[in-house]
C-alpha cells in the first residue's frame, strides 16, 4: 500500500523501509492484541518511521503513545467495531448541522454522511492522501491539541468547499472533497485555529472527546 500511496517518495520504494514498517506494525499488534492490525495504521507507521529517520524503536514508541495516551486514544479508533470512528463521524455530522445547516442538509439529502469521506481522515490522521508539507503541519497541530485539531480542520475543509458542494451531486461532492484533501492548502491549520465556533459547537466537540 505504501509505495502506491506515496509514488513520488523514493524512500518508500526501499524494501528495507517497507520491512521496517512491517516490523513496527507487528510489534504493535503483539503489544495490543485487542487492536491487532487495522487498515490505515500502515500510513501512520510509515510517516512516523520517515520522520524518525528510519529508527524503528522511536517510531514504535511514538505510535504506542498515540494508541495509549488519552489525548490521542487511537486504541479506541482501531479496536473491533471502530467505536471512536463512528462516534467522531457522528459528531462531525452534528457539528456541521449546527455550523452550516444549509450544507449539512444538502450533503445529507445526497446521502453523503461524513463516514463516507472522513473515516480515512480519522483512521490515518490525514496521512492517507494529504500532501506532505501540509500533513506535517496537521500532525504538529494534532500532537499539541489532540482531536480538537481534526474536528476543526474537517470543518474548515467543508467550509472552504461550500460553494462547490452545494451545487454538486453525490459523486461530484465526493470527488471534490477527495481532491481538496489531496492538495490541501497550506493555510488550513491557521484557519482551523482561528475558526469561530459557538458554545454549542464547542460542546459537540467536547462531548465527542469524552472517553
pLDDT of the residue at 211: 64
- pLDDT of amino acid 4: 67
Give the start-end residues of each E strand in 28-179. Answer: none
Q: Which pLDDT value is given to residue 55?
A: 96
What is the pLDDT, as a whole number, of residue 209?
84
pLDDT at 2 over 80: no
Cα separation, 143 vs 136, whole angstroms: 10
Query: What is the separation of C-alpha 189 from the centre of its chain, rounded to a whole number of angstroms?
Result: 13
> For 28, which DSSP code?
H
Q: Tell me the CB-side half-sphere exposure of residue 2, using CA atoms within 13 A.
A: 25
User: What is d(CA 66, CA 107) in angstroms, rounded to the nearest whole number?
Assistant: 32
Average pLDDT over residues 203-207: 88
Which tens digits make up the pLDDT trace of 157-199? Answer: 999 999 999 999 999 999 999 999 999 999 999 999 999 888 9
pLDDT higher than threshold 80 for residue 8: no
Say how far apart CA 32 and CA 79 lie, in whole Å.
Answer: 10
Distances (CA, A) of 169 to 30, 90, 164, 175, 176: 44, 22, 10, 10, 10
104-156 pLDDT per residue, tens: 999 999 999 999 999 999 999 999 989 888 999 999 999 999 999 999 999 99
For residues 45-57, average pLDDT:
94
Nearest to 125 by CA among 72, 55, 183, 53: 72
> What is the grid cell recorded at 69?
495516551
Amino acid at each position: 500500500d505504501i509505495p502506491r500511496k506515496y509514488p513520488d517518495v523514493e524512500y518508500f520504494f526501499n524494501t528495507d523501509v517497507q520491512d521496517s514498517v512491517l516490523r513496527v506494525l507487528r510489534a504493535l499488534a503483539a503489544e495490543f492484541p485487542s487492536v491487532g492490525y487495522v487498515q490505515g495504521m500502515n500510513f501512520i507507521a510509515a510517516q512516523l518511521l520517515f520522520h524518525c529517520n528510519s529508527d524503528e524503536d522511536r517510531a514504535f514508541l511514538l505510535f504506542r503513545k498515540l494508541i495509549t495516551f488519552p489525548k490521542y486514544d487511537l486504541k479506541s479508533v482501531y479496536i473491533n467495531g471502530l467505536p471512536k470512528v463512528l462516534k467522531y463521524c457522528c459528531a462531525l455530522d452534528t457539528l456541521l448541522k449546527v455550523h452550516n445547516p444549509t450544507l449539512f442538509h444538502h450533503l445529507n439529502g445526497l446521502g453523503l454522511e461524513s463516514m463516507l469521506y472522513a473515516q480515512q481522515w480519522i483512521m490515518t490522521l490525514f496521512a492517507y492522501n494529504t500532501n506532505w508539507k501540509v500533513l506535517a503541519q496537521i500532525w504538529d497541530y494534532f500532537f499539541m491539541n489532540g482531536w480538537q485539531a481534526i474536528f476543526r480542520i474537517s470543518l474548515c475543509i467543508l467550509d472552504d468547499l461550500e460553494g462547490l458542494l452545494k451545487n454538486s451531486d453525490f459523486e461530484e461532492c465526493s470527488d471534490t472533497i477527495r481532491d481538496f484533501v489531496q492538495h490541501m492548502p497550506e493555510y488550513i491549520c491557521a484557519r482551523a485555529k482561528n475558526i469561530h465556533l459557538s458554545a454549542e459547537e464547542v460542546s459537540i466537540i467536547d462531548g465527542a472527546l469524552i472517553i
